[in-house]
Structure 1
Amino acid sequence: MFGTSGVRGRVGDDVTCDLALAVGRALASEGHEEVVVGRDARESGRMLADAAAAGLRECGADVIRLGEAATPTVARSVGWRDADAGLVVTASHNPPEDNGLKLWNPSGQAFDEDQRETIAARVREEEFSFADWDDLGEEREWGSQNRKSADQRHVEALVGAAASGNCSLVVDAGNGVGQVTATALRRLGHDVRTLNATPDGSFPARPSEPTAENCRGLAELTAASDADFGIAHDGDADRMRAVTGDGEFVSGDVLLAVFAREAANPGDEVAVPVDTSLAVADALERQAVSVARTRVGDVYVAERASDCGVAFGGEPSGAWIWPAETLCPDGPLAACRLAALVARRKPLGRLVDDIETYPLRRGSVRTDRKAAVMDRVRERVRAEYRAVSALDGVRVGTDEGWFLVRASGTEPLVRVTAEARSRTRVDDLFVEATALVEDCE
């Protein structure tokens, strides 16, 4: 039921009010007595949040409602209110017809694999502990009792975590709920122009995922203006991507290296997924910082980032984690940290050019027998190669590069990625890995 990013799928098919109700019931039945509930701007979000809140209250948990809020705002709010858990209704960067549910711990870390399976098991077995009629949970809005809003708390946290500066930048919120970014940046002294800033869960201006293709408008506006750089969020603002002042979209691996070099000191570790470029490890090696590889998914990066000695965690898709601040991917925090870095070391294009990059190829092999194919791939790889990791799929390291074979979590595909320090070698590795998968099909 749960993937690494929670429950996610098409509304009315995979994600329904019945499911949201059951997840709420399960969460309360596990002993979470007070739960913060928020949602992104999708049209289906209100009814799903209502259903989840009803399930929570039905099993005795009190609910603090945030309404529309960025996922990192909700995740941080769990600790701010001394609550037991957080529940966000969001499909993050997915299209508008999708929605989902993601659960959070007070540390800001998403529910781990064991926690997710515990909730899923209760939902499957309908094992709920219903409260007596006179002991139902209560519901209240965050803003009751004259408290600062959750957005205000988030802005204050961002301002406290980033140095001030005087950059000029464009913030593309993608019609999502990341408006705290522009507010915090202005408080920090930056000149901010916004793009697609009105929340609209149909994402009329561009698809929610901030890819190079989807961010062409941001790139063009940034290049045509006097902005130093631009940033883009997805629908719930847990992701952040960037473009240079010339409108060049910065690759996720390069941005990861830029952030990691600034965050880590000699002897530290940086948590990255197994499909991260060699460019990151090479850039960090020069300052005696090592990488700790994780399974693909920001929840696994966050788990590793919680360990002592890990200064930063990042995923090239745009999830950035500073564990000293929070264990949730916080797109607004990443935007403020990047603005501070550019203000001190302008321009972003120069920081990007400092990172040496290598040729990388991605592809896939279609198969209806993913599990069996991967089993055979593992056997072959262990027999034929020395530097093998089965942490997530199968990753093989060589003197000049690496290849990764992973089963897709959502499609009948086995994905192949290869990278090397030369074009000839990456082509060789990619062909070698693809042939291996095809032989095992």
Structure 2
Amino acid sequence: MFGTSGIRGPVGSEVTAALALSVGRAVASEDYDCVVVGRDVRKSGAVLVDALTAGLRECGADVLEAGVASTPTIARAVARTDADAGVVVTASHNPAPDNGIKLWSASGKAFGPERLAAIESRVGDDEYDLQSWDEQGSSEPLADATDRHAAALREAVTVADPPSIVVDIGNGTGGLTAGVLSDLGCEVTTLNGQRDGAFPGRPSEPTRETLGDLSALVAATDADLGIAHDGDADRMQAVDETGAFVPKDALLALFAREAASDGDTVAAPVGTSMAVDDALAAVGASVTRTRVGDGFVADRAARSDVVFGGEPSGAWIWPDETPCPDGPLAACKLAELVADRGPLSALVASVETHPIRRTSLEVADKNAVMDRVRDRVRERYDDIDALDGVYVDLEDGWFLLRASGTEPLVRVTAEARTATRAERLEADAVDVLEDAIAAGSNPERESDRDADLLAPDRP
């Protein structure tokens, strides 16, 4: 039921008011007695919040209603109000027909696997602690959540020479960013600033391909940089003063290098570029890799030696500020960096990048294929990591084979210090994957192979 980022799917089929009611009942039945609830701008969110709140209150939980707000605003409010949990009705960067539900712990960090499993079990078993008429929970508005978030952002950075910034809000909840940057003295122009859950300005996910208007506007003006959010503003991507999209791994390297010093550690998922390792090595810091998903990065960022956590998708975590990916905070940090260190294009150019190759193959049974991939990789290579997919670390590069979380695909990523070597590693990884796929369509071939492996040496 819960993926790496909560529940997400099409409204009316996978995501329904009945599901929201059940999740609300399950959360309250797990003894989360006070819960902050909010949503993004999608029209369907109003119905889902009503159902979710009814389920919470029906099982005795008191609800603090944050209304329409960014996901990091709601996550921060959980810790600030001493609530036991938070629930955001959002599909984040997914398209308009989707919606979803994401759960937050008392610290403002996403629910981990054990807590999610407990909720999923209750929903699956239809097992709830329904309360009598005089024991049901209350509901009251939490009107200051966005203002308190804005105040925290203003305190988190110092922008001595405020740059000119274009903020592409993406018709979502990221308007907070424009207001705070303006308060910090920046000259701010907004794009797609009207809240609209149909996302008419561009697709909700900010990528090189979807940020053409932002790039063009920055390039045509005197702006020093452009910033873009997804629908619930937990993500942030950027373009430099020339209008060029900032490569995701380069942005991760810049944030990591600025946050870390000698002996520090940065958390990032498997598949993160060696550019981040190189940038951190220059300041005496290192990378610890996690499973893919901002929740896993946040878990690792909770360790005392980790000063920053980032996922190239645009989720950036400064654990001393908040354990939730905070797009508005990332925007303020980037404005501070440009004000202190100069043009963003020059900062990006200072990050040494390496050739990286990506492809994917469609498969009928991802889990079975990945089981066979793991067997084959262990036979061929010594230094492997099966934390999330299969990651093979070689002296001059690496490759990763990982099943998609949402599609019938296995994705292949390879990186090396030369283009020729990256191509070779990609070809080797694809060869392993194709062999594993073929074995699934030819069981006799797999049986013969297993017999060969188990047979005693012949003279």
Q: TM-score, normalised by structure 2?
A: 0.94
Q: 1:369: how far off?
A: 1.8
The whole-number CA distance in structure 1 between the counterparts of 2:258 and 2:394 is 28
Unaligned runs of 5+ in 1: 144-148
Match of residue 403 from structure 2: 407
Contact 1:239 1:331 in 2 (8 A): yes
Partner of 1:54: 54
Q: What is the distance in 2 between the residues matched to 1:424 and 1:2? A: 40
Q: Which residue of 1 aligns with 2:432?
A: 436
Aligned to 1:83: 83
**Other-structure match for 1:358:** 354
1:25 CA drift (Å): 0.2
Q: Give the aligned partner of residue 188 of structure 2.
A: 192
**Per-residue Cα deviation, 1:375-396 (whole angstroms, up to 9, x for no partner):** 1111111121011000100000
Q: Distance in 2 between matches of 1:329 and 1:117?
A: 22
Greater gyration radius: 2
Q: Which residue of 1 aligns with 2:454?
A: none
CA offsets per residue over residues 396-433 of structure 1, 9 Å max, x none?
01111100001111111111111111110011010110
Q: How far did 1:132 drift?
A: 1.1
Are the counterparts in 2 of residues 209 and 234 from structure 1 also a CA contact under 8 Å? yes
Within 5 Å, which residues of 2 pair with 1:118-133? Answer: 118-133=118-133
User: In the alignment, which residue of structure 2 is the partner of 1:102?
Assistant: 102
Say which of 306, 309, 315 aligns to 2:305: 309
Is residue 2:273 matched to residue 1:277?
A: yes
Query: What is the letter of the counterpart of residue 85 of structure 2?
Result: A
Pick aligned residue for 1:167 from 163, 168, 172: 163
- What is the one-letter code of the residue matched to 2:226? G
Q: Distance in 2 between matches of 1:250 and 1:402?
A: 23
- Runs (4+) of structure 1 moved beyond 2 Å? none
**What is the aligned-residue identity percentage?**
59
Give the superposition deviation at 1:86. Answer: 0.4
Matched, 1:215 2:211: yes
Aligned to 1:243: 239
Q: 8 Å contact 1:4–1:297 — kept in the other structure?
A: yes
1:25-64 to 2 correspondence within 5 Å?
25-64=25-64
Cα distance between partner residues in 2 of 1:249 and 1:64: 39
8 Å Cα contact 1:6-1:100 kept in structure 2: yes
Secondary structure of the residue aligned to 1:116 is helix
CA distance in 2, matches of 1:429, 1:27: 46
Equivalents in 2 of 1:360, 1:345: separation in Å? 28
Match runs of 1:277-296 below 5 Å: 277-296=273-292
Task: Kindly provide the CA deviation profile for residues 55-91 of structure 1, in whole angstroms up to 9, marking residues without a partner as x.
Answer: 0000000011111000000000001111100000000
- Counterpart secondary structure, 2:195: coil
Deviations 1:330-351 (CA, angstroms, capped at 9, x unpaired): 0000000110110111111111
- Secondary structure at 2:9's aligned position in 1? strand
Structure 2 residue 390 is matched with structure 1 residue 394: yes
SS at the partner of 2:166?
strand
Number of residues of Structure 1 aligned to a counterpart in Structure 2: 436
> What is the CA–CA distance in structure 2 between the aligned matches of 1:440 and 1:357, rounded to whole Å?
31
Structure 1 residue 39: Cα displacement = 0.3
- The match for 1:371 is 367
What residue in structure 1 maps to residue 295 of structure 2?
299
For each residue in 1:239-298, what CA deviation from the matched residue of structure 2 results, as whole angstroms up to 9, or x when unmatched? 000000000100110000000000011100000000101110011111110100000000
Give deviations 1:172-229, integer Å, cap 9, x for gaps. 0000001111111111111111111111000000000000110010000001010000
Unaligned runs of 5+ in 2: 438-459
Contact residue 65 and residue 142 of structure 1 kept, 8 A: yes
The answer as to 2:140 corresponding to 1:157 is: no
* 1:207 partner SS: coil
Name the SS for the 2:411 alignment partner.
strand
In structure 2, distance between residues paired with 1:229 and 1:243: 6
Structure 1 counterpart SS, 2:203: coil
The residue aligned with 1:67 is 67
3-state SS, counterpart of residue 192 of structure 1: strand
- Residues 342-373 of structure 1 deviation map (CA, whole Å, 9 limit, x = unaligned): 01111111110000111111111111121111
Matching residue of 1:146: none
**Whole-angstrom distance in 2 between the partners of 1:413 and 1:327:** 31
The alpha-carbon deviation at position 164 of structure 1 amounts to 2.4
Q: Displacement, 1:304?
A: 0.1
1:266 aligns with 2:262: yes
Contact kept? 1:271, 1:304, Cα under 8 Å:
yes
Task: Report the residue type matching 2:28 in the other structure.
Answer: A
Q: In structure 2, what residue type is equivalent to 1:33?
A: D
Asked whether the 8 Å contact 1:267–1:288 carries over to 2, the reply is: yes
**Superposed CA RMSD:** 0.7
Q: Distance in 2 between matches of 1:238 and 1:424?
A: 37
Q: State the secondary structure of the residue aligned to 2:251.
A: helix
The residue number in structure 2 matching 1:228 is 224
Whole-angstrom distance in 1 between the partners of 2:13 and 2:260:
44
- Residues 130-169 of structure 1: per-residue CA shift (max 9 Å, x gap): 11111110011113xxxxx111100000001011231100
Find the residue that maps to 1:8 and give its secondary structure. strand
| Worse-superposed segment, 71-80 or 405-414 | 405-414
Letter in 2 for 1:135: E
Residue 416 of structure 2 corresponds to residue 423 of structure 1: no
Contact 1:76 1:106 in 2 (8 A): no
